[in-house]
Amino acid sequence: MEKVSVKQNIENTKKLRNMREAAHIGQAINGVA
């Protein structure tokens, strides 16, 4: 099994978090509009 590097893991986590935050912001804007 290939071991994913810790650095790669952190990058993936950051991407997921940013996507989730962007979705929340989009929902908030839609709610206000």
Q: What's the predicted TM-score (pTM) here? A: 0.60
Q: What local confidence, expressed as pLDDT, does residue 2 receive?
A: 75
What's residue 16's pLDDT? 97
Count how many domains the chain has: 1
Taking 80 as the threshold, does the pLDDT of residue 25 lie above it? yes
Is 26 exposed, middle or buried (CB count within 10 Å of its CB: 0-12, 13-18, 19+)?
A: exposed
Which residue type, as a one-letter code, is found at position 22?
A: A
Structural domain of 30: 1-33
DSSP state, 33?
Answer: -
pLDDT at res. 12: 97
Mean predicted confidence (pLDDT) in 9-13: 97
